């Protein structure tokens, strides 16, 4: 409640349109969040809100990514843009800290509105109208069954709190309705078609929040609902596990036929979220820990890659692989940072992505022994498309038809702030072994 009041009192600062003031206020919010005393189960309970280890890291990530969104969008920084960021921050904070299912559903749906306004208002091409429709109807269609389940819980048990005893069930419909909304939001393979469209048409801030935070809502919701009916999940998880393990390989192959840099990064996000889903579905302690760490690592890494794609777009006015060639002779100083992000994207040490993938691979073999055959292909293809992205962009003959300027200090700072936590979380990993 203290943080919500803090965000409400930030509203008057919107009218000064000073991005650095807003970032400073978000940094104070991050410091307040770090100072909280967190336990394994819900702690700091205040009215409808509480925080535990799972929500704690995602709340920190929300404040962090939104402050970086402001830094990456100085050209379009206005009062209306700051209001949208504040509303998004508020909605995400409530989703990750609320104890009530209906409140989670309410803000799960509400968070879509400011994102749609962001894409429609600051997107690039006219196709953004179609991408918004895709995103809106996918989310709406998938989340209506979840509302029915929540109504059913209230009518039968009179409570919507996550720690309530909802008895015992073996109904597949109950299971499907409960998690379908989160599988689409994650997104699981076959329900992912809205994501590349939304990413390509969104401005850089929209892509950052989509990749960094909105995909994590799906994983968070799955973890929360998994604890309600554990036996139900044990019974039917193999269905979604099968989709995910095949989807991870197929999506990795789809990455090779993309002609747009943002589209390729978006498809790589789908592949990583399929791995994250497999870790959650294994329903082991290590699988859950690996998925949680992958959510944090992927949120930072993917957001940074979309930032870099935008920097190239601002200079060359194109995101096509066929025009963005030979960048090593155009902006050599960014080559190392681009290389690091591509390495972290495929899970190289010493990044948190490496550790999370290693833990998830262990939990996958524990769940289904023959997973190791698929793991070989997943790891190989992931390395291939990351190296393909770097080598195709940075090698070759540079097309010098466009006007350009070099990278400035603010943009280096933005990329480094994405990179440093990916290293740093590895150094404090014992905090997560709760």
329-344 tens-digit pLDDT = 778 888 889 999 999 9
d(CA 143, CA 14): 32
d(CA 184, CA 422): 27
Residue 82: name the closest of 15, 128, 160 by CA.
Answer: 15
Is the pLDDT at 433 greater than 70? The verdict is no
Region 109-121: mean pLDDT is 90
Is the pLDDT at 18 greater than 80? The verdict is no
d(CA 409, CA 417): 12
Q: What pTM was estimated for this model as a whole?
A: 0.92
In the chain, where the domains are located: 1-99, 125-431
| Residue 363 tokens, joined | 């939990």
Q: What is the pLDDT of residue 394?
A: 84
> Which of 24-28, 361-365, 385-389 has the least mean pLDDT?
24-28
Is the pLDDT at 432 greater than 70? The verdict is no
**CB atoms near residue 25 (< 10 Å):** 17
Q: What is the pLDDT of residue 431?
A: 62
Q: What is the pLDDT of residue 281?
A: 92
- Per-residue confidence at 398, pLDDT binned at 50, 70, 90? confident
| Residues 2 and 32 sit within 8 Å (Cβ to Cβ) | yes
Region 162-177: mean pLDDT is 84
What residues have CB less than 8 Å from 123, skipping those under 6 apart? Answer: 131, 201, 202, 203, 206
**Of residues 329 and 212, more confidently modeled:** 212
251-279 tens-digit pLDDT = 999 998 888 899 999 999 999 999 999 99
d(CA 29, CA 160): 29
Q: What is the pLDDT of residue 405?
A: 57
Of the ranges 118-132, 174-188, 394-408, which is most confident? 174-188
Q: Is the dihedral of CA 98, 102, 107, 108 positive or negative?
A: positive
Is the pLDDT at 180 greater than 60? The verdict is yes
SS3 content of the chain, % helix, strand, coil (to 5): 75, 5, 20
Q: Taking all residues of the chain, what is their mean pLDDT, rounded to a whole number?
A: 86
Question: Rounded to the nearest 5°, which phi and psi values hold at 260?
Answer: -115, 130
d(CA 105, CA 4): 18
**CB atoms near residue 60 (< 10 Å):** 18
- Per-residue confidence at 105, pLDDT binned at 50, 70, 90? very high
Question: Rounded to the nearest 5°, which phi and psi values hold at 307?
Answer: -60, -45
Q: 379 in helix, strand or coil?
A: helix
**CB atoms near residue 186 (< 10 Å):** 29
State the helix-helix crossing angle for 128-157 and 194-201, rounded to 10 degrees. 130
Q: What is the pLDDT of residue 400?
A: 64
**Of residues 184 and 330, more confidently modeled:** 184
**Of residues 316 and 381, more confidently modeled:** 381
DSSP 301-349: HHHHHHHHHHHHHHHHS--BTTTS--GGGT-GGGHHHHHHHHHHHTT-T
Region 311-320: mean pLDDT is 84
CA gyration radius for the chain?
Answer: 21
Residue 82: name the closest of 28, 45, 118 by CA.
Answer: 118
Is the pLDDT at 74 greater than 80? The verdict is no
d(CA 273, CA 279): 10
What residues have CB less than 8 Å from 30, skipping those under 6 apart? Answer: 60, 63, 64, 67
d(CA 78, CA 258): 34
Region 223-233: mean pLDDT is 88
| Residue 68 tokens, joined | 């970086």
Q: What is the pLDDT of residue 102?
A: 92
Is the pLDDT at 404 greater than 60? The verdict is no
Q: What is the pLDDT of residue 78?
A: 77
What residues have CB less than 8 Å from 403, skipping those under 6 apart? Answer: none
Q: What is the pLDDT of residue 40?
A: 67
d(CA 228, CA 21): 42
């Amino acid at each position: 409640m203290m943080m919500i009041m803090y965000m409400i009192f930030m509203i008057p600062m919107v009218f000064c349109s000073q991005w650095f003031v807003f970032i400073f206020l978000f940094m104070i919010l991050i410091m307040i969040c770090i100072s909280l005393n967190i336990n394994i189960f819900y702690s700091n309970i205040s009215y409808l809100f509480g925080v535990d280890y799972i929500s704690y890291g995602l709340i920190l990530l929300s404040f962090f990514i939104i402050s970086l969104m402001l830094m990456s969008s100085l050209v379009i920084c206005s009062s209306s843009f700051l209001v949208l960021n504040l509303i998004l921050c508020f909605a995400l904070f409530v989703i990750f800290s609320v104890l009530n299912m209906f409140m989670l559903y309410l803000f799960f749906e509400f968070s879509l509105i400011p994102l749609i306004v962001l894409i429609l208002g600051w997107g690039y091409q006219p196709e953004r109208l179609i991408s918004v429709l895709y995103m809106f109807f996918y989310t709406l269609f998938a989340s209506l069954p979840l509302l029915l389940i929540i109504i059913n819980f209230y009518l039968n048990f009179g409570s919507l709190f996550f720690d309530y005893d909802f008895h015992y069930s073996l109904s597949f419909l109950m299971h499907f309705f409960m998690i379908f909304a989160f599988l689409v939001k994650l997104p699981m393979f076959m329900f992912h078609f809205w994501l590349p469209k939304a990413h390509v048409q969104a401005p850089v801030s929209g892509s950052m929040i989509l990749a960094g935070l909105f995909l994590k809502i799906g994983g968070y919701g799955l973890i929360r609902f998994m604890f309600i009916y554990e036996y139900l999940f044990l019974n039917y998880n193999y269905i979604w596990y099968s989709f995910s393990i095949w989807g991870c390989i197929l999506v990795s192959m789809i990455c090779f036929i993309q002609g747009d840099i943002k589209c390729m990064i978006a498809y790589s996000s789908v592949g990583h979220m399929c791995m994250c889903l497999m870790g959650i579905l294994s329903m082991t302690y290590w699988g859950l820990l690996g998925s949680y760490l992958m959510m944090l690592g992927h949120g930072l890494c993917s957001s940074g890659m979309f930032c870099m794609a935008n920097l190239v777009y601002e200079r060359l006015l194109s995101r096509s692989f066929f025009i963005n060639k030979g960048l090593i002779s155009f902006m050599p100083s960014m080559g190392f940072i681009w290389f690091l992000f591509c390495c972290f994207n495929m899970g190289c040490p010493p990044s948190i992505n490496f550790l999370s993938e290693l833990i998830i691979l262990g939990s996958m073999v524990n769940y289904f022994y023959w997973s190791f055959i698929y793991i070989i292909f997943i790891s190989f293809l992931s390395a291939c498309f990351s190296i393909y992205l770097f080598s195709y962009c940075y090698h070759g003959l540079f097309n010098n038809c466009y006007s350009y300027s070099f990278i400035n200090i603010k943009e280096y700072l933005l990329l480094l702030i994405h990179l440093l936590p990916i290293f740093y979380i590895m150094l404090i990993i014992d905090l997560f072994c709760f």
